[in-house]
Amino acid sequence: MKFTKVFIFFTILSFLLFPISGVASALEKLPSSDKTDQWEIMIDKPKNEDVEPKPDVYNMYSMDVQYIGDEDIKLERIEAYRDDPSSSYDFELFTIADTDDFEIDKNSKQPVFNHQNFPLSVQAKELKVIVTWTNKGDSDRKYREEFIFKQ
């Protein structure tokens, strides 16, 4: 009888101290965002639900990129990559380098970018977003910032 009480006590204690699933995916908890002094990147549910995810192949997400710095800049390009556990290199999801694809925020007068849906493989553990821009006063020098969202 005493052994049973001790066993039950330690079993309950182990469930409280050692949760079964302690690590959650950053992209499973949407929206997921990252922010620096210059940029804010938001990964969220797809905005256009016409494209359905394939549960064992890929999930669908949306991305918003907004400049929050205080300089007058020109957005040059946005790149998104995913990793592949079976290789040492990243796979490109998309690259936007046409300035016509970037909008201008009405309030801040700074460039923003919205991607309504993009697929991300369920095997991917990392989403990498690279933003490249120039200052309008010094268009010869490019700046780049990299954001990594982990699953």
Does any domain span residue 130?
Answer: yes
Residue 11 has pLDDT above 50, yes or no: no
Using a pLDDT cut of 70, give the percent of the chain over it. 81
Query: In this structure, is the dihedral angle defined by the CA atoms of residues 54, 131, 149 and 125, taken in order, positive or negative?
Result: positive
Residue 133 lies inside a defined structural domain of this protein:
yes
pLDDT tens digits, residue range 116-148?
999 999 999 999 999 999 998 887 899 999 999
Provide the whole-model pTM: 0.77
Report the Cα 125 to chain-centroid distance in Å. Answer: 11
| Residue 114 lies inside a defined structural domain of this protein | yes
**Structural domain boundaries enclosing 85:** 23-150
Residue 13 lies in a domain: no
Residue 84 located in a structural domain? yes
pLDDT in tens, 88-122: 999 999 999 877 778 877 777 778 899 999 999 99
Query: Prior bond to 55 cis, omega within 30?
Result: no
Residue 46: which CATH number? 2.60.40
For Cα atoms 34, 42, 50, give the angle at the middle one, nearest 5 degrees.
Answer: 155
Number of domains within the chain: 1
pLDDT digits (tens, 9 = 90+) for 55-79: 899 999 999 999 999 888 989 999 9
